[in-house]
Structure 1
Amino acid sequence: MADSTSKPVSSRLGDMFRALRHYNYRLFFIGQGISLIGTWMQQLAMSWLVYRLTDSVLLLGAVNFAAQMPSFLLGPVAGVISDRFSRHKVLLVTQALSMLQAGTLAALVLTDHVTIPAIMVLSALLGVINAFDISARQSFVVEMVENREDMSNAIALNSSMFNGARLVGPFIAGIVIAAVGEGLCFLFNAISYLAVIASLLAMRLKPFVRPTVEHRVWESLREGVSYAFGFPPIRALLLVIAMLSLFGMPFSVLMPVFARDVLGGTANTLGLIMGASGVGALTGAMYLASRKTVVGLGKIIVGAAFLFGLGLVLFSFARNLPLAMFCIFLAGLGMMLQMASCNTVLQTIVDEDKRGRVMSFYSMAFMGMAPFGSILASWVAEHVGVTYTLLGCGILCALSIIPFAIQLPVLQRMVRPIYRRLGILPEIATGLRAASVLTTPPRQD
């Protein structure tokens, strides 16, 4: 048997980007990639603007709380809508509303009429939009990539796109803010939504067939909760994501404080730190894109959680920019490996008719727990300082994965029948290929 390393480089690269062979996914990848650069520019500009206006870590956390809390409250309802209505049309609506939100914010900043209450209201509005957008977008991947073998690659490429933008967006935003202020970052984000809207309109999709509704909304919610939290592997993965979001994600909220007060830097410093985190996350996403199977991701989830925690601990002690960038690179690498691996396994094992609801719980765990972590970390940083807060976040991230690591062998046995049914396990896939060879009639030359 030939070793996989003997394959030509072009072939290995083709495997890494194989999901792009699907026309609809390719359109989405390009449009969303452009839009996400604007999203990351807005995120960095928002953090810098709030901290510049208030000098308050607590208010910085409060704005993030307002932006993310709706995902926690509306996540289950968004999941039901994603399972009952056209995800394509839901995304068109959410992207158009997001463009309107960014345009309004740009107008307020550029005309010097921006206030903290206005920022809070607009952040909460974006949170409501994102609650529906995330669930529909996560579930829409299945419609764009019909070949299930390419599903894990598509999810990994999504993560690559997200973190490629995370690398470029903050870098550009840092330069723009230093030169002309935050307003143009919000304006570029508003314009960038045109790219993803155009890609959605250009797609060639099968006509949407609305599923027969057998239950009311609350019954569908109860069914989704029973399914997601009644199956231990799904429940465990959602808990891992929740802990990552609660203890780990607040580090991004504290970055403006660390960049300005600990490193003595400017918006450019913040852009470089966020960019280094993006490089680490992009490296992790590209590694996952190069994998051909979901088998073995459980161990990667465990190792990545420890790496994420270690990166945050080391980052908390950094006192110069190069060391801080290296440490946050490690944290970004661990965060992406953990988050994308959980997403991939969830998308693989979930039943299709419950996908929207399960992915809404995923967005609740990821986006919904983040506001609690942000407000808590901001409060702690106000009292003990940003350094000790980041140190505590890193330690808690590493400790929180221990229960999952202990349960991992049992969880692997539970998902094995699903992998067998899908032909994912190596021995099963090999057996199927061998059977197809044995049952194929010889060619008559």
Structure 2
Amino acid sequence: MTAPSSRADVVRFAVVWTTSLLSSVGSALSSFVLGVWVYQTTGSVTGFALVMLAAMLPPVLLGPLAGAVADRFDRRRVLLGADAVSGVATATLALLVHTGGLRPWHVCVAAAVSAAAGAFHFTAYQAMTPLLIPARHLGRANGLMQLGMAAQIAAPAVAAGLLTAVGTTGVLVLDLVSFAVAVSVLATVRLPARVLRPARTEPPKPLRADLAHGWRYLRARPPLLALALVFTGYNFIYGLAGVLVQPLILGFASATTLGLLMLAGGSGVFAGSLVMGAWGGPRNRMPGISLFMFAGAVALALHAVRPSPLLVGCAAAVFLFTLPIVQGCGRTLFQTKVEPASLGRVSGTVQALGQVAQPVAYLAAGPLSERVAEPLLADGGALAGSVGALTGTGPGRGVAALFLAAAVLLALLAAATALAPALRTLETALPDALDPETADAR
């Protein structure tokens, strides 16, 4: 790749990244205000949880199909189609809000449709990235791609103000505007044919075979399968902490403080994404994943030590700072070790494996907290004299104990990642799909 061509591809990536980020921000704002609407309308935590569950299941169920589509068809059209479907779902909700006909089940259906479209968008986007960015810049690109997560975490602070100013319909209209801008820009940017549909080394297989291709690919390469399972465990721990952090904070602080601490957490993701975007991550990515996982484990443990808003706010920011670096290093490894023609199907399978952990964590968090941890950490409970010496006892400290358990799990996962032979040697045992010179000359 010549220098001008390389610069042009970086510019193209920047355009695609900007449109995806803009769409993510709009979607995060809509998701928050719709969740608030469901809770205020039904007064039910279960109703709110159903909306979240509706948004989680489609990526798990559709990941392999999204990967097959990304490898079979023009990836720009996949992105445009996914954004169009999400836009139609949002427009339908806006119309229902405006006419007073919106019902909670409408929100669940729309959340599922948007999440399904998002699975196709994310997989095609991941598959395009290593074909747009020189190999030496992939870590930076994957770091910047985590800014969408920062937007999702910080959305409540922004959306609450917008909700007061323009109402639910206004926020949905803003989301539609973000979709329109993203689709318009993506439709006009010039992308090379190799990015849109990379050449396949084998003739197209039946769709059913393609759905299993990602799993077969991983099984044939145990280090990559082990890495995918590491991120399944990592997502479970992240999901457990994510669903419990609000009850933890509300156990000793006000809703206003909760909002400020959520914003602090979002700032951690934002800072981590910018650092990863500028740095690109460690040269040896597997040791880097282990190191930042362990740092995240320490931060999770600090959540449990004392019911202090300042301590929890700092710990949340540190934990979420590590997230873009760990995720960015993992995605870069898959992008550099998997051939471009298979990357969509492998990414879809990895996404499904990773995403399945979060619903499990969400479903487990409530019973573990209410029926196990809280009774054990109550004053005079069975663990009051042992674990309680670290976390304190009484209402809400069972949740703190679960944070401590999550920290231990994450530390063990970091140790396994550092010590398991298949993972420790992954970077040298598996050849790069495109070495840096070839990748930059493609």
Q: Tell me the residue number matched to 1:400.
A: 413
User: Once superposed, which parts of structure 1, at least 4 consecutive aligned residues long, lie more than 6 Å away?
Assistant: 18-21
Q: Tell me the residue number matched to 1:96.
A: 84
Relative to structure 1, is the Cα distance of residues 292 and 41 closer, same or farther in structure 2, using a 3 angstrom cutoff? Answer: closer
SS at match of 1:136: helix
Aligned counterparts of 2:162 and 2:306: Cα–Cα separation in 1: 26
Asked if 1:263 is matched to 2:235, the reply is no
Of residues 67, 71, 84 in structure 2, which corresponds to 1:83? 71
1:75 deviates by: 0.9
1:305 deviates by: 1.8
1:61 deviates by: 3.4
Of residues 222, 234, 250 in structure 1, which corresponds to 2:224? 234
Asked if 1:280 is matched to 2:268, the reply is yes
Aligned counterparts of 1:404 and 1:310: Cα–Cα separation in 2: 16
TM-score for both structures, normalised by structure 2: 0.80
1:414 deviates by: 4.2
1:359 deviates by: 0.7
Relative to structure 1, is the Cα distance of residues 397 and 293 closer, same or farther in structure 2, using a 3 angstrom cutoff? Answer: closer
Asked if 1:300 is matched to 2:288, the reply is yes
Contact 2:86/2:117 (<8 A) preserved: yes
Alignment gaps of 5+ in structure 1: 1-17, 430-445
Contact 2:276/2:325 (<8 A) preserved: yes
Asked if 1:200 is matched to 2:186, the reply is yes
Q: Tell me the residue number matched to 1:432.
A: none
Give the % identical residues. Answer: 24
Asked if 1:157 is matched to 2:154, the reply is no
Aligned counterparts of 1:316 and 1:182: Cα–Cα separation in 2: 36
Which one-letter code corresponds to 1:413 in the other structure?
T
Relative to structure 1, is the Cα distance of residues 259 and 292 closer, same or farther in structure 2, using a 3 angstrom cutoff? Answer: closer
Aligned counterparts of 2:24 and 2:231: Cα–Cα separation in 1: 22
Relative to structure 1, is the Cα distance of residues 121 and 318 closer, same or farther in structure 2, using a 3 angstrom cutoff? Answer: farther
1:204 deviates by: 0.7
1:363 deviates by: 1.5
Q: Tell me the residue number matched to 2:29.
A: 41
Partner deviation per Cα, 1:149-199 (whole Å, 9 max, x = no partner): 33222222222x324534664331132245565553333222211222122
Q: Tell me the residue number matched to 2:391.
A: none
Partner deviation per Cα, 1:291-343 (whole Å, 9 max, x = no partner): 35763211121122222233233234564543332121012012222211111
Which of 230-239 and 43-52 deviates more? 43-52
1:349 deviates by: 1.0
Which one-letter code corresponds to 2:241 in the other structure?
F
Asked if 1:72 is matched to 2:60, the reply is yes
Contact 1:248/1:394 (<8 A) preserved: no
Of residues 174, 195, 214 in structure 2, which corresponds to 1:188? 174
Alignment of 1:348-387 (within 5 A): 348-383=336-371, 384=374, 386-387=399-400
Which of 385-394 and 27-36 deviates more? 385-394
Relative to structure 1, is the Cα distance of residues 420 and 337 closer, same or farther in structure 2, using a 3 angstrom cutoff? Answer: closer
Of residues 330, 333, 341 in structure 2, which corresponds to 1:345? 333
Aligned counterparts of 2:174 and 2:264: Cα–Cα separation in 1: 22
Aligned counterparts of 2:85 and 2:17: Cα–Cα separation in 1: 20
Asked if 1:217 is matched to 2:207, the reply is yes
Of residues 118, 122, 126 in structure 1, which corresponds to 2:114? 126
TM-score for both structures, normalised by structure 1: 0.80
SS at match of 2:23: helix
Aligned counterparts of 1:381 and 1:106: Cα–Cα separation in 2: 37
Which one-letter code corresponds to 1:305 in the other structure?
M
1:94 deviates by: 0.4
Which one-letter code corresponds to 1:416 in the other structure?
T
Aligned counterparts of 1:183 and 1:377: Cα–Cα separation in 2: 33
SS at match of 1:348: helix
Relative to structure 1, is the Cα distance of residues 196 and 325 closer, same or farther in structure 2, using a 3 angstrom cutoff? Answer: same
Contact 2:143/2:324 (<8 A) preserved: no
Partner deviation per Cα, 1:226-276 (whole Å, 9 max, x = no partner): 21122122112211211121221243344554565642214xx55433322
| CA RMSD in angstroms, aligned pairs only | 3.1
Aligned counterparts of 2:428 and 2:31: Cα–Cα separation in 1: 40
Alignment gaps of 5+ in structure 2: 1-5, 375-395, 438-442
Which one-letter code corresponds to 2:239 in the other structure?
M
Contact 2:224/2:426 (<8 A) preserved: no
Aligned counterparts of 2:234 and 2:432: Cα–Cα separation in 1: 30
Which one-letter code corresponds to 2:355 in the other structure?
M
Contact 1:31/1:195 (<8 A) preserved: yes
Q: Tell me the residue number matched to 2:156.
A: 170
Aligned counterparts of 1:375 and 1:113: Cα–Cα separation in 2: 30
